[in-house]
């Protein structure tokens, strides 16, 4: 694999970041960091969606302009991702000048070629979703199933996109490319939705929505979300109809979208059709994740259980986000809903990161110092019965299917078997019996394995991995395919003063009172 381009959904800035936003960004960042270990050219895009009626109304209620509110909330999202070590290459805002100009050109191109037409329309509009709904989309009470309120009946003359024109081509693509939508069960959902697909509104009148990108050829209309927000994935790369720059040509063919299940229809159908109309290839994959519930309940403002990633960090006094990143990235199997609870959070990170990993490293290095003054002798190097290299292949296979929970489970299993290896071989007993070569071999075998572990855990826990690598004198920049089981160098490895805990238990007195 030469290149890898990954995008997240862009977050709507009518509010500030919550744990659901954080879940998607953490999952995406973990995927990106993993692929950086496998190829040299990786590009990661995220950003914010900043137009629409909700922003217009909320800003008016606060007595500020929509742009002022967008600036404020976009800064909050950037700050949140910085605290979570989300290492993106580009942060796009749909109010960016280059994006707005490119979107206007895209709209005019589709209009000129007959894929957009003007039409009077009366429909049921959900301001929460910012979408017109069909009666069949509503629940038994006539409400939007996502926002639990009845949509408003609106009559407008808008521009419509000929979505139905591309129905057959989308169906064909999904059936011929079984990996296009992951997990696979979501593809069947999309095929069912395509059966009764209709053309969609892609503009709003300025009388109803003034906060949007103006249609160049019609002063009374603004461009609606589907062409505005969805186009960010290509405008970020410089695409603007008249220009396909090197950056676009370089990355678009290797594009992967990470999205929530609630916006699958818009990406798999609407966005696919827009790309086909533009004569552009479809993305390689759509990875569709589930939601994060709080204590097994759906997040809801009415329930008062919407929490921010910052509040979790503060509640647990986390100076680094690794524990939260690890928990969130492993919270759910591919495509399924996950759950966050304080009790489960503490238990999982303490078992996996503090006990299985951190304690194993600390006690192994401590024994190396105690018995050998921290020195690795030539006779300690040899055949390692712990098959850590095989786990690299397993982890890569899971990441190729976006199975982050399963990939992490392979790492934990490797740690479990390594801890059992220590127990079964008892280096402390070997030292007592003066079998020093055998004792040293056991310790070095464990340390060699922990070098591999530090590389594999790095996408989830970059700070923890770096601390492990420093104590092991291991180069984390080595590509996964170039890793060997010969990473520990002969000679002085570490002194007593250099051995420090790489991860503290969340309930430890030291961890909860550190300055």
Just list the catalytic residues.
18, 21, 126, 129, 144, 147, 298, 301
- Cβ distance 353 to 326 under 8 Å? yes
Distance CA 249, CA 247 (A): 6
Phi, psi of 457, deg, nearest 5: -85, -15
The tokens for 291 are 């939601």
Distance CA 298, CA 340 (A): 11
Distance CA 21, CA 80 (A): 10
The count of other CB atoms within 10 Å of the CB of residue 504 is 17
The tokens for 379 are 């006779």
- Cβ distance 43 to 6 under 8 Å? yes
Distance CA 206, CA 151 (A): 20
Distance CA 514, CA 490 (A): 35
C-alpha distances (whole Å) from 109 to each of 13, 112, 274 are 28, 5, 11
The residues with which 223 forms a beta bridge, in sequence order, are: 203, 213
Helix ranges restricted to H, 339-489: 342-349, 360-372, 388-400, 404-425, 427-432, 436-457, 462-472
Long-range contact pairs involving 236-242 (C-beta distance under 8 Å, separation at least 24): 236/7, 236/45, 236/47, 236/90, 236/92, 236/99, 238/98, 239/102, 239/280, 240/98, 240/101, 240/102, 240/105, 240/106, 241/102, 241/105, 241/106, 241/108, 241/109, 241/278, 242/105
The tokens for 121 are 């329309």
C-alpha angle 108-260-410 in degrees, rounded to nearest 5: 135
506: Cβ–Cβ under 8 A, 6 or more apart, which residues?
316, 323, 345, 346, 349, 350, 354, 512
505: Cβ–Cβ under 8 A, 6 or more apart, which residues?
350, 354, 355, 511
322: closest CA among 468, 109, 480?
Answer: 468
Element containing residue 321 per DSSP (H, E): none
């Amino acid at each position: 694999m030469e290149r890898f381009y990954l995008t997240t959904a862009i977050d709507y800035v009518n509010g500030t970041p919550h744990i659901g936003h954080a879940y998607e960004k953490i999952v995406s960042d973990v995927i990106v960091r993993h692929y950086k270990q496998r190829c040299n050219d990786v590009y990661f895009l995220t950003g914010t969606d900043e137009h629409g009626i909700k922003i217009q109304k909320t800003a008016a209620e606060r007595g500020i302009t929509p742009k002022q509110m967008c600036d404020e909330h976009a800064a909050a999202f950037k700050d949140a991702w910085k605290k979570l070590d989300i290492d993106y290459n580009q942060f796009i805002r749909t109010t960016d000048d280059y994006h707005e100009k490119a979107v206007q050109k895209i709209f005019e191109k589709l209009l000129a070629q007959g894929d957009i037409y003007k039409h009077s329309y009366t429909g049921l509009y959900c301001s929460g979703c910012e979408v017109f709904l069909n009666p069949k989309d509503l629940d038994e009470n006539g409400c939007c199933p996502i926002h639990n309120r009845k949509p408003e009946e609106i009559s407008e003359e808008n521009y419509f996109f000929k979505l139905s024109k591309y129905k057959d081509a989308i169906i064909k693509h999904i059936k011929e490319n079984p990996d296009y939508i992951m997990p696979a069960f979501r593809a069947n959902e999309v095929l069912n939705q395509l059966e009764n697909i209709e053309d969609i509104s892609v503009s709003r009148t300025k009388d109803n929505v003034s906060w949007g990108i103006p249609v160049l050829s019609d002063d009374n209309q603004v461009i609606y979300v589907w062409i505005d927000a969805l186009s960010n994935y290509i405008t970020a790369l410089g695409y603007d109809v008249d220009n396909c720059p090197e950056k676009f040509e370089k990355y678009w063919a290797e594009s992967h979208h990470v999205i929530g299940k609630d916006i699958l229809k818009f990406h798999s159908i609407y966005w696919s059709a827009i790309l086909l109309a533009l004569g552009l290839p479809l993305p390689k994959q759509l990875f569709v994740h589930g939601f994060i519930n709080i204590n097994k309940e759906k997040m809801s403002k009415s329930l008062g259980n919407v929490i921010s990633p910052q509040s979790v960090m503060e509640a647990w006094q986390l100076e680094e986000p690794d524990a939260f990143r690890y928990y969130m990235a492993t919270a759910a199997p591919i495509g399924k809903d996950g759950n966050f609870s304080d009790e489960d959070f503490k238990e999982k990170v303490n078992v996996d990161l503090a006990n299985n990993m951190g304690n194993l490293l600390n006690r192994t290095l401590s024994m190396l110092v105690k018995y050998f003054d921290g020195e690795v002798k030539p006779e300690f190097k040899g055949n390692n019965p712990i098959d850590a290299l095989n786990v690299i292949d397993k982890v890569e296979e899971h990441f190729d299917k976006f199975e982050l929970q399963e990939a992490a489970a392979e790492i934990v299993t490797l740690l479990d078997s390594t801890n059992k290896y220590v127990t079964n071989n008892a280096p402390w007993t070997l030292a007592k019996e003066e079998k020093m070569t055998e004792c040293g071999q056991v310790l070095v075998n464990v340390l060699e394995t922990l070098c591999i572990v530090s590389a594999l855990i790095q996408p989830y826990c970059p700070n923890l991995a770096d601390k492990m690598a420093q104590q092991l004198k291991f180069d984390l920049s080595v590509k996964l395919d170039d890793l060997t089981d010969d990473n520990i160098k002969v000679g002085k490895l570490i002194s007593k003063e250099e051995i420090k805990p790489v991860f503290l238990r969340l309930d430890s007195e030291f961890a909860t009172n550190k300055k």
